[in-house]
Structure 1
Amino acid sequence: MRYTSEDVGLLIKTTQYRHHRGLDASLAATGISLVQWSALREIERNPGASMHRLAELSFNSDQAFGTLTARLLRVGLIERFQGPGRVTHHRLTPRGTELLREGRKRVMKVLVLSFASLDEKERDMLGTLLAKLLT
């Protein structure tokens, strides 16, 4: 079968939508959403990153990420600390770290199931092709 660029774009978006719904449903049992879990993941992965950079990495606008971090602070999943000058950084609290770990298990189950119809070579090929698109 020949796929047009529109077909491929729609397949990528449909896969992403399916992942988002499945991940949100699985994470709901932990009391956090995919958006919140993604913010925790990026805060952990990128210590010292600016709010703007964390917003980009978690696919949020700066304003949305600011609102999100305020909520994560309120519920005790992250804390703020002063960096050099006027820079403010974030880090996970022990509770935030635990929710990130529990969420990661759930995320991996959803993703493994999602890609189960592909063998290792096909997953590698898909990853290579998607990475090529992003360069």
Structure 2
Amino acid sequence: MHGELQELGRAVKQAQYRQHRALDSALQGIGTTLAQWDALRAISRSPGASARQLAAATFQTEQAFGTLAGRLTAQDLVERRPGHGRRIEHHLTPAGRQVLAAGHKVADKVLADCFSALPDTDRATLLDLLRRLTAQQEA
């Protein structure tokens, strides 16, 4: 039993690793990285969010996200504004929105390639199974 479970865990990790490598490589073509584009996506989904919220949304530590947000601010892709108390809010700049949109186009192509071996019904099943796993872990 444990051998099968370990093989399953490794297969999920291998698929994720290949997807991340392909995305990171393709996103370099538009002048960004997977980590940067993921941060832009998170900020776009939650404008005004704190670094703590955005770190959780991007699976990073708060410190790592702060460093990344600093780079994005220096590139004029993100604007940091004072919020309630000591909270700093994050917002996309027009340039950040452009990079995000370009990244969506790149990601759509890369992910279509990554999942091309699976017919639509299998992709839908895989998505359902993964959602059930993550919902179980969050409960």
Instruction: Give the structure-1-normalised TM-score.
Output: 0.94
Contact 2:30–2:102 (CA under 8 A) maintained in structure 1: yes
The residue that corresponds to 1:36 in the other structure is 36
Q: Gapped runs of 5+ residues in structure 2?
A: none
User: How much does 1:86 deviate?
Assistant: 2.7
Corresponding pairs, count: 133
Partner-residue secondary structure (3-state), 2:25: helix
Identity %: 44
Q: Distance in 2 between matches of 1:54 and 1:63?
A: 11
State the AA in 1 paired with 2:81. F
Q: Distance in 2 between matches of 1:90 and 1:48?
A: 5
For residues 85-122 of structure 1, what are the alpha-carbon distances to aligned partners after superposition, in whole Å with 9 as ceiling and x for unaligned? 33210111111100000011001100011111111111
Q: Distance in 2 between matches of 1:111 and 1:44?
A: 20
Instruction: Give the structure-2-normalised TM-score.
Output: 0.91
The residue that corresponds to 2:47 in the other structure is 47
User: How much does 1:80 deviate?
Assistant: 1.1
Q: Gapped runs of 5+ residues in structure 1?
A: none
Q: Distance in 2 between matches of 1:13 and 1:79?
A: 34
Q: Distance in 1 between matches of 2:82 and 2:62?
A: 19
